[in-house]
Structure 1
Amino acid sequence: MPNQDRLRVSAPGRICLFGEHQDFLGLPVIAAAINLRFTIAGTPHDEPLFRLRMPDLGTEVSVPLPTNGELKYQRDRDYLRSSLNVLMRHGRRPTRGYDCTFRSTIPINAGTASSSAMILAWLRFLLATQGEGECDGLTLACMANRAEVLEFGEPGGIMDHVTCSLGGTLYIECRDPVQWEALPCPLDGFVLADSLTRKETTTVLAQSRCDVETGLATLREKAPEFDLQHTSLEAAEEYLSLLPVHQRRKVRANLVNRALQREGYALLKSGRVDPDRLGSLLTAHHQQLSEGLGVSTPKLDRMLEAAIAAGAKGGKLNGSGGGGAMFAYAPGRQEEVAAALEAAGGKACIVQLDEGVRLEEFAVGSPC
């Protein structure tokens, strides 16, 4: 008689509304989960391994069940194995093999948290194989951040993991301990577009982080009263002259973006969103990312201009930059803006906000 056990989990991608390139500095961000999702479906078998089919990539990989300590990594950023290792450090050791299929509608390597969504879905799947029907979302996010970022010394922050795990629109304090707040604003009208320009996420993030953190360290040394969390932009201007030009520009951009995030938070928390104001704040944020931090591209800038010309209220690049995706905020004009973004050379998709990690199908016998 065939085994009827089955599991299916999914995790969303995300857009970052405010605070791009700031979570790794410990500054707050505002991000939202979207209805493009990474899905893992699986059934158990008797072999001591996970067989993972990835039809979107035309490949299949196998990962052994850990039997003798932690798994050795086979490649850089070996997220499948790092997730298992992190899970075991939390006292959970999978003991049953599964045939799994990985599928995703999230653009890959485009700044929409595809890797974070995969890791979250994989961790949630592994927990479900051990009979865990309930799971704390923030704990799952911290495990995913460990498996993706901390385990490999990567430069990213925790925004993606918290947003994709918990879902909705979130204000996230990206300091230890992480704190978050669900924002009740009903947002609609987003159009996501992949520029189809591939990027090196870790390279872009590392360079941005290095320049900004070096500049901040210099400021703290020469002006101990400077505080990234609290010193106003106006008060900071006198300190910025102490920095080399390229560091000065990037630190100032982060201070401007900090102010934009605070205004965006007040707007979204009020529950009465002015679309014109929200759009202008998003565009102002993009301008700092492009001109201040230098992480946009000419194509992303042109795509945003095309979206606004077609009726979008505003928008910004999404993710680390250097290629990848952007989104436009275009309530009531989604179709027209999507067409304009396609004409500008992107691959556009109208998206809605969505919930976080989901256990969609759960019928598991004994994990032993």
Structure 2
Amino acid sequence: MVIRGRAPLRVSFGGGGTDVAPFCVEQGGAIIGSTINKYAYCSIVPREDDQIIVHSLDFDMTVKYNTTENYVYDGRLDLVTAALKAMNIKQGCEVYLQCDAPPGSGLGTSSTVMVALLTAMAKWKGVEMDSYYLADLAYQVEREDLKIDGGYQDQYAATFGGFNFIEFHGRNNVVVNPLRIKKEIIHELQYNLLLCYTGDIHVSANIIKDQVKNYEKKDPFDAMCEVKALAYAMKDELLKGNLYSFGKLLDYGWKSKKRMSSKISTPQIDELYEEALKAGALGGKLLGAGGGGFLLVYCPYNVRHKVAARMEAVGGQLTDWNFELRGAQAWITDESRWDYKEIRVAIPGGEYHFPL
């Protein structure tokens, strides 16, 4: 028996950074974004002993311990350790992790891995969790138990899936508003958006710490309020299907977000973005906390090919993608049912054997 959990990665359009305390507690934060067809996967294979073996397929790393030990965070796949502890796993198992994007890509990878882990473990234990409980538990384990700096949006985006406008007022006060967007608007939006990997990765916790420090000094307060206001404006324009305005608002949002911390952008990213604008893009933004990862750019259909060519010419790596409207999922597969020695097929004219 194999228990699998899958959660989608996300792109945020506006409001990034306003979901981080203390701003979201004192002022209220707002995020608009969607999940995409890039995923974090967790596979659990139960064992008959007390051994827990964790495999990171992306990093070719294996960590072993057993259920009789206290779960200690030692920097080696601590996300799994914390999830096992939170779900009170007492049986031995092998855990396999794989993600479609690297850490620091700006797509919410670590939080999405946590959601996939908890989803698979809940399925294994037969525990029913509603989406709010699952997202809040993922936040608690990552932000409070593991002390990893960050906001709220990634856990909720990965859990709920689809297009959402999410409002944050601190722990246990998060409201997810699913957006009912017409299919033709979603298709047009996806066609006009380019997702470009900058080739850099970032440590989001360092950028978030700098952002919080600046906020506590009241340096970027106006910029953060503007980023929040833009999230509301983007929601309205997207629901109405006014994608030209939506594209221009992305540009306003990126300029406002860069005022929140000097670590959010780099000269290389600024050059890539400016070249996209020169080629005809209306706007865009770096995904995640900043510093590297994926750049999302909106461009009208008739200049899309020019923007794509220009971004690749200056070092960007375009990625195929699409929107994903489903959130976290889990299922069980029993591979032993198909443990055949051979396949036999009888057709007119003879019988064929295919050894396996």
1:286 alignment partner in structure 2: 254
1:192 alignment partner in structure 2: 195
State the 1:351 CA deviation.
2.1
- Taking only aligned residues, the RMSD between alpha carbons, in angstroms, comes to 2.3
Cα distance between partner residues in 1 of 2:242 and 2:332? 39
State the 1:335 CA deviation.
5.7
State the 1:334 CA deviation.
5.7
1:6 alignment partner in structure 2: 2
**In the alignment, is the contact (CA less than 8 A) between 1:314 and 1:328 conserved in 2?**
yes
2:137 paired residue among 135, 143, 153? 143
Cα distance between partner residues in 2 of 1:256 and 1:162? 23
Kindly provide the amino acid, as one letter, of the partner of residue 216 in structure 2. E
Cα distance between partner residues in 1 of 2:63 and 2:311? 36
Cα distance between partner residues in 1 of 2:77 and 2:30? 26
1:277 alignment partner in structure 2: 245
Tell me the secondary structure at the aligned position of residue 240 of structure 2.
coil
2:329 alignment partner in structure 1: 358
Query: Which is further off, 149-158 or 19-28?
Result: 149-158
State the 1:286 CA deviation.
0.6
Tell me the secondary structure at the aligned position of residue 351 of structure 1.
coil
Identity %: 24
State the 1:116 CA deviation.
0.6
Q: 1:335 to 1:13 in 2, by over 3 A?
A: farther
Cα distance between partner residues in 2 of 1:195 and 1:55? 23
**In the alignment, is the contact (CA less than 8 A) between 2:46 and 2:92 conserved in 1?**
yes
Q: 1:44 to 1:336 in 2, by over 3 A?
A: farther
State the 1:37 CA deviation.
0.5
Structure 2: any 5+ residue segments left out of the alignment?
Answer: 336-356
**In the alignment, is the contact (CA less than 8 A) between 2:63 and 2:77 conserved in 1?**
no
Kindly provide the amino acid, as one letter, of the partner of residue 59 in structure 2. L
Kindly provide the amino acid, as one letter, of the partner of residue 193 in structure 1. C
2:175 alignment partner in structure 1: 179
Cα distance between partner residues in 2 of 1:151 and 1:80? 12
Tell me the secondary structure at the aligned position of residue 197 of structure 1.
coil
State the 1:306 CA deviation.
2.9
2:275 paired residue among 287, 306, 310? 306
1:165 alignment partner in structure 2: 159
Cα distance between partner residues in 2 of 1:282 and 1:43? 43
**In the alignment, is the contact (CA less than 8 A) between 2:251 and 2:285 conserved in 1?**
yes
State the 1:105 CA deviation.
0.9
Kindly provide the amino acid, as one letter, of the partner of residue 245 in structure 2. R
Query: Which is further off, 8-17 or 48-57?
Result: 48-57
* Structure 1 position 128 matched with structure 2 position 115: no
Cα distance between partner residues in 2 of 1:40 and 1:207? 32
Cα distance between partner residues in 2 of 1:43 and 1:292? 44
The superposition leaves residues 236-283 of structure 1 with CA deviations (integer Å, 9 ceiling, x where unpaired) of xxxxxxxxxxx1xx1121122122122112223xx3221211000011
State the 1:100 CA deviation.
3.0
State the 1:350 CA deviation.
2.9
Cα distance between partner residues in 2 of 1:110 and 1:63? 30
1:103 paired residue among 98, 102, 107? 98
Tell me the secondary structure at the aligned position of residue 149 of structure 1.
helix
The superposition leaves residues 209-258 of structure 1 with CA deviations (integer Å, 9 ceiling, x where unpaired) of 1111332xxxxxxxxxxxxxxxxxxxxxxxxxxxxxxx1xx112112212
Structure number with bigger Rg: 2
2:286 alignment partner in structure 1: 317
State the 1:53 CA deviation.
2.1
Q: Number of residues paired by the alignment?
A: 317
**In the alignment, is the contact (CA less than 8 A) between 2:55 and 2:61 conserved in 1?**
yes
Query: Which is further off, 72-81 or 299-308?
Result: 72-81
Kindly provide the amino acid, as one letter, of the partner of residue 90 in structure 2. T
Cα distance between partner residues in 2 of 1:60 and 1:158? 29
Tell me the secondary structure at the aligned position of residue 350 of structure 1.
coil
**In the alignment, is the contact (CA less than 8 A) between 1:79 and 1:119 conserved in 2?**
yes
State the 1:311 CA deviation.
4.2
The superposition leaves residues 125-172 of structure 1 with CA deviations (integer Å, 9 ceiling, x where unpaired) of 11122124x531111111111111122334311101000111011111
Cα distance between partner residues in 2 of 1:309 and 1:63? 54
Q: 1:316 to 1:95 in 2, by over 3 A?
A: same
Tell me the secondary structure at the aligned position of residue 278 of structure 1.
helix
Tell me the secondary structure at the aligned position of residue 49 of structure 2.
coil
Cα distance between partner residues in 2 of 1:331 and 1:37? 28
**In the alignment, is the contact (CA less than 8 A) between 2:214 and 2:261 conserved in 1?**
no
Query: Which is further off, 180-189 or 274-283?
Result: 180-189
2:114 alignment partner in structure 1: 119
Q: 1:172 to 1:129 in 2, by over 3 A?
A: same
1:203 paired residue among 203, 206, 214? 206
